[in-house]
Structure 1
Amino acid sequence: MAQIIETSSQSFASVDVDLVTVDIIENALRNARYEMDAVLFRTAMSPGIREQHDEFPLIADHKGRMVVGQFGSFIGGFLDNYQGTVEEGDIFLTSDPYSCDGAISHANDWLVLMPIYLEGRIVGWAAMFGHMTDVGGKVPGSLPTDAESIFEEGVVIPPTKIYRRGVLNHEMLELILNQVRMKQWNRSDLNAIVAACRTAGRRVVELCGRFGTDVYISTLEQLLERNYRAMEQLILQTVSEERISFTDYLDDDGLGNGPYRIHCTMWREGNKVHLDFEGTDPQSEGPINFFLNVNMFKMFFGIYMIMVFDPQILWNDGFYPLVEVHIPERSLLRPAYPAALSCRTHGLGRIFDILGGLLGQRQPEFLCAAGFSSSPHLMYSGTDQAGEWFQLYQIGFGGIPGRPFGDGPDGHSLWPSFTNVPNEFLEAYFPLVIERYETVADSGGPGFFRGGNGIDIAYRFLEPGTISIHDDRWLTYPWGVNGGLPGARSTKYVIRTNGDTEVLPSKCDHVKVEVGDILHYVTWGGGGWGDPLDRAAELVALEVKRGLVTHEGAKRYGVVLDDHGAVVEPATESLRDEIRQQRGDLAVFDYGAPLDELKRRSMEETGLMAPRDPVFGAR
């Protein structure tokens, strides 16, 4: 456990704070959190952080509890595992998931933590992690799809004082950067993260100076307590004492094995919700293991509850005592060191589908369909004609699920801060041309609220190189709910210059591409919500006009259109009556087909061999 050094032994006094002051401090902290983002985006160099915003900041109280931010607090796991001192001016860096209880979940995430001191006492913490484009290892991008241990995935940094009492540890930094392919990007991104944390530190000190340290600390206690009370009511109103379970699958592990089962059971005891992952498959030999930090999952649960049931609540760590989480050791979600973690994004995404399947079973009108499902990645690297190394890391997006309150957006991230890399940026800085960037009509699952469409990005390569691909939902469907139909699956294929088409696995490395080859990176659609036959026919016709649904696809909603795209009302009524008579009762969950059938039809439908059943043994 860390030893915190403070030159003042004076304790903080608890004082009453009026609501206006609470509101001012809360909004000032929220602004400081967004200022952290702004500082980072203006000074980072890698497109993953600068353009796509693959980073997560937080500001915590003096005990390390997050007050504003994303992903929940990283501080507790760090303090429990760090065996050294914490002093004024120290800034810590780590990329080792096993040293911080999974607060970060793979080696590409560099986590910076900074204590905020005022007059000899810690008054708060600032922290942020960002995904580095490269941290060394066996493949460019450092996300090998065939890794069997973390040692293959690049440099892994234990908790380290990168600044000691305000002085940069140059030798340590140079040692770390010597392991990576894009040194200048890593250096700039790290400096940007440090600058963002220092910005937060200044804002906290300013608030303490303006209102008084005791008022500031007491306000944070009030904010945490307020969140506790709000979440307590949500849990009592929406979570049953009856045990409810849900199961979903990761399609494969990159080594040809799968699918892998993730299972969660939820129930309430008193005012506490219990989430138990017993029944989840053991850890994979491949890199799809997701070291799920308990506090991170509590935050996921809280965010999902709030966004579905009461979006006005502002979340923080205050509700954590109300959530009990059990994750079996040596399972897919709590692997044992040194299990590989480089493809953990698929498990991370599937956790949100699991939550969607759990939260609302008691009240189906609050169910969300499947849609986040994965986090598609593309890496493209090589040496151009000028002899310069280039390396692209890009996150793609699929369809957001249909929800109780509306359609899922097309080709969008579930993370509110993530954005697409502009095509102009890609073409300006990398040897490629974007030939196509469009939604895939009919890929969103039909429903009263339509699932978001996936997207098809066509990359034409201008230099020879290699690509790596990370994705999932190529075998299983993003399921629909309450009568909604599943979304379409993902697919990836290369059209070679000789006209041949090569279907690629959803997880692959070392795929050689030549000048003129075109990669089609097609993501999955979101599942639909509610009976598609209840969707307004005129709205379906409008979406056909906009290219989101095809004429043929409109018939899945029971809508018949003429050659000009107008609704043919008698034919529509007749078709809807016919579909209702043939389909029977609506299913709460529509998975498309049983898993065994999906595997049997895999080659015919996807062009890929079905994965082998995993064999689990002692490691």
Structure 2
Amino acid sequence: MNSELKTDRVFLEIFKNRVQAIVEEMANVVLRTGFTAFVKETGDFGTYLLSPQGETFGCPLDTGYNLSLGIPAGDVISSIGQWNEGDIVICNDPYSTGGMATHLPDVYLLKPFFYEGQIIAFGLCFIHSSDVGGKVPGSVSPSSYDIYQEGLRLAPVKLYEAGVLNEAILRIFLDNCRIPDQNWGDLRALMAALNRGERRLQELVERYGISRVESGIEDVLVYAETRVRQMIEDIPDGEYEFWDYIEKGPGGYPVRLRCKMVVRGDGIFLDFKGTDPQVRASFNIPTLNKQGHYYLVPALIRYFRTLDPSIPWNSGMVRMITNDAPSGTLLNPEAPAAIGARAATFIRLMDVLTGTLSQAQENKLPAAGAGQAAIVMLAMTDPVTGGRKVGVVQPICGGSGARPMKDGIDGMDFAVGHLRNIPAETVEADMPILIERYGLLPDSAGAGTYRGGCGIDLQLKVLSPDTVLTARNMERMEFQPWGRLGGKAGAYGTAVKNLGQPSEERTGRIDELLLQPGDTVSFFSQGGGGYGSPYKRSPQAVARDVRNGLVSKDAAYEQYGVVFHESKVDLDATQKRRSAVYGSTDEQQSFHFGSAREQFESIWSDEMQLAIGAALTVYPLALRDYLKRCAMKEIDDRFHRGEQVQAIEVAEIMAAIHRTIAAL
């Protein structure tokens, strides 16, 4: 390794820590000066340092969004013909940024950092804006079917040129959102962070010299790359396949994400062939198939850093990862596909890669977590002032998956661990609502030797007329978070309007929900999957969960075989109960998916779904999602009539459907 580095080990460690301190300080500037709750409370923003070529060499770990290793910033950097000191570029459009932005609410600012007339690095920041226009408050609706419905689009353009504000660009942006003052406040927080980062990096150059800093930037990337390559060499060479689903796509059918992970030597190739076509909904992720794209690799880089927490957190970690996300699919849609709810797909993709890696490293990966981050937002009128309010209530997550040596984390999934809880008092002070209940959901965790994390139970009451609630990215409401190696799947999520009242109704996945004063909405989120046989869980651990209200006595008996006599565990009766039922369980079952997925795949096997995908390739992209739905419905109907359909018949069934619509 020393032969590859220009920087000595001592300085490299100093440089790594200096860079980390800079990006953490930048992140804290945004956290302390941001305007919207989604920034200052939830922490959905990012601050990064990029090399002159656009690789991330500095990324915060403690504050904000830290999964942006592999940001494809090169296209934006090269699209600006002339960079001047004091320039700041603004953008949010995925298609014109080459996949750097992934949906319109993520508003990016990019600034060149100069030293003596030379660009030594770039500072990159983004905030998730609570609104950038579009058809719904918050700008993200699962039912949007093209990007024009999702808000204002900004291709890379200079907001500041040589330090001078472009008033026209700012006016266009602010005039097309519902919260102009808050958005301008958040942008100013980003600019303060960029200025702080620039000053700190210049101080680094003044202390160590420009040559050592330039070498340090490259070598800290090389060091991360070298260390990860060493870890990949410990993974057995092979091909590992897994798939999972976004629920209730257009037509009501699940949308499949499929990956074959190929490990060869010190490299990984992610083959996403078999993933469904882009959909007429907003679940598409615009990666543009950029190699090691930051929305494709997070499950892998988290795994690597879990094995070695000392690795520099930078884009060197993804240099050896290549991928093929075919054009026109969910992971590489063509414009103008809607992309607002891409986080739902991103979270499920992390489950898919965890599943593939679990087959290569069977005893090192957790079970599936809740698999959602439902951002609950309200748009309402203040009944006192008459002013309009748009704000985030809470990111509704759920429990994480159980680990090979430990229970899952209650109320928070690993996939979205960067999101922070918003205190109920803050929400109630900002908007006319009441948080009537907010806690952990009993009996939601998947049972196992190590149980999954419990889900969340939240109930809110609105106090203002004509309140519009949106809750994007609600998932795992049918297909449960899967368990591992004998562990059971976690509970699926639900939402109920006016629980316990005569007007009670289940909402299903919420797009827009109109509420009136006194209406309540209750969210019951998913528990993580369990790991290992529940009958091997310590009875004392089960008893502790019962005392803490996380597991009922009935569930302790049915799921864990633990018998209580009054308030104490009856160890003899527990042993008998476990002995009586243990032989009927399959403790070595690699994955427990739950009955809903198992029933779906009893018809829609991998072979059948691959046949659907192959048959679609001969038709125009605009027709594929429709033809897929029609073909699946036709085949479902045949199965329900008792007919058998083979994969070889799928192409002709689809061709007949196409002939019918072409003849209309």
Global fold match (TM > 0.5): yes
SS of aligned partner of 1:217: helix
Report what 1:604 is aligned to: none
Unpaired runs of 5+ residues, structure 1, are 1-13, 601-610
Cross-structure match for 2:75: 78
Kept in 2, the 8 Å contact 1:349–1:373? The answer is: yes
3-state DSSP of counterpart to 1:89: coil
Query: 1:405 and 1:212, CA in 2 relative to 1: closer, same or farther beyond 3 A?
Result: farther
| Mapped pair 1:327 → 2:306 | no
TM-aligned CA deviation for residue 407 of structure 1: 1.5
> Residue 291 of structure 1 corresponds to which residue in structure 2?
286
What residue in structure 2 maps to residue 438 of structure 1?
439
1:400 aligns with 2:404: no
Identify which of 353, 361, 364 aligns with 1:355: 353
Corresponding position: 1:258 with 2:257: no
- Residue-by-residue CA offset, 1:184-206 (whole Å, 9 max, x unaligned): 11101111112112211111111
Name the structure 2 match of 1:605. Answer: none
Amino acid at match of 2:79: Y
| Partner of residue 247 from structure 1, selected from 243, 246, 271 | 243
1:89-108 counterparts in 2 under 5 A?
89-108=86-105
**1:371 maps to 2:369:** yes
TM-aligned CA deviation for residue 40 of structure 1:
0.5
> Given the alignment of the two structures, is residue 389 of structure 1 paired with residue 388 of structure 2, yes or no?
yes
In the superposition, relative to structure 1, how do residues 133 and 38 fare at CA in structure 2: closer, same or farther (>3 Å)?
same
Q: Distance in 1 between matches of 2:458 and 2:326?
A: 39
Change (3 A) 1:80 1:163: closer
2:574 maps to: 572
Task: Give the alignment of 1:301-320 within 5 angstroms.
Answer: 301-320=299-318
2:325, 2:432 → 1: CA distance?
44
Find the counterpart in structure 1 of residue 152 from structure 2. Answer: 155
Task: Provide the rounded CA distance (Å) in 2 between the counterparts of 1:43 and 1:80.
Answer: 27
| Alpha-carbon distance in 2 for matches of 1:598, 1:570 | 41
| Pair 1:174 & 2:171 matched | yes
RMSD over aligned Cα, in angstroms?
Answer: 2.2
Q: Deviations over 1:22-75 (max 9, x none)?
A: 222211211111111111111111111110000122112232211121312435
What stretches of structure 1 move > 4 A for 4+ residues in a row? 615-618
Which residue is equivalent to 2:605? none
CA offsets 1:299-339 (integer angstroms, 9 cap, x no match): 41442322443333233111333111110110011111000
Equivalent-residue separation in structure 2 for 1:472 and 1:75 (angstroms): 28
Q: 1:304–1:355: 8 Å Cα contact kept in structure 2?
A: no
| Structure 2: 5+ residue stretches without partners | 60-65, 603-625, 632-653, 659-664
- Conserved in 2, the CA contact under 8 Å of 1:75 and 1:113? no
How many percent identity over aligned positions?
Answer: 31
TM-score for the superposition, normalised by structure 2: 0.85
User: For the structure 1 residues 585 and 539, does the alpha-carbon distance in structure 2 shift closer, same or farther, using more than 3 Å as the test?
Assistant: closer
Q: Which amino acid aligns with 2:389?
A: F
Conservation of the 8 A alpha-carbon contact between 2:72 and 2:99? no
In structure 1, the partner of 2:634 is none
Quick check: 258-267 or 319-328, which moved more? 319-328
Deviation string 1:382-440 (CA, Å, 9 cap, x unpaired) is 21222110112232211111122421111114344321001110011111111100111
Letter in 2 for 1:261: R
1:473 aligned onto 2:476:
yes
CA distance in 2, matches of 1:398, 1:91: 38
In 2, the alpha carbon distance for the partners of 1:615 and 1:486 equals 31
Counterpart contact for 2:99–2:286, Cα < 8 Å: yes
DSSP 3-state at the match of 2:359: coil
Cα offsets for 1:331-361 (capped at 9, x unmatched): 0111110001111111011111112101121
Deviation at 1:222, TM superposition (A): 2.0
SS of 2:517 mapped into structure 1: coil
Q: Are the counterparts in 2 of residues 352 and 372 from structure 1 also a CA contact under 8 Å?
A: no
Out of 552, 577, 586, which is 2:588 matched to?
586
Are 2:64 and 1:66 aligned? Answer: no
- 3-state DSSP of counterpart to 2:252: coil
* Residues 312 and 528 of structure 1: CA distance in aligned 2, closer, same or farther (over 3 Å): farther
Q: What residue in structure 2 maps to residue 46 of structure 1?
A: 36
Cα distance change of structure 1 residues 312 and 356 upon mapping to structure 2, 3 Å threshold: same
Q: 2:180 aligned to 183, 189, 193, which one?
A: 183
Q: State the SS of the aligned residue for 1:155.
A: coil
Give the Cα–Cα distance (whole angstroms) in 2 for the partners of residues 105 and 78 of structure 1. 14
Tell me, yes or no, if the aligned pair for 1:94 and 1:157 is still in contact at 8 Å: yes
State how far apart, in whole Å, the 2-side matches of 1:190 and 1:505 are: 35
> Can you list the C-alpha shifts for 1:506-555, whole angstroms capped at 9, x where unaligned?
1321x111111111012111111112221111011011101111111212
Cα distance change, pair 367–209 in 1 and its aligned pair in 2 (3 A):
same
Are 2:272 and 1:277 aligned?
yes
- Distance of 1:75 and 1:506 partners within structure 2: 32
Distance between the aligned counterparts of 2:312 and 2:215, measured in 1? 18
**1:192-232: CA deviations, max 9, x gaps?**
11211221111111101111111111122221111111101
Conserved? CA contact 2:238–2:264, under 8 Å: no
Kindly tell me the number of residue pairs found equivalent between the two proteins.
591
Cα deviation digits, residues 268-326 of structure 1 (max 9, x gap):
23321111100000000111112235421464144232244333323311133311111
Secondary structure of residue in 1 paired with 2:229: helix
State the partner residue of 2:344. Answer: 346
**Could you say which residue in structure 2 is the equivalent of 1:519?**
521
Contact 2:443 2:550 in 1 (8 A): yes
**What corresponds to 1:34 in structure 2?**
24
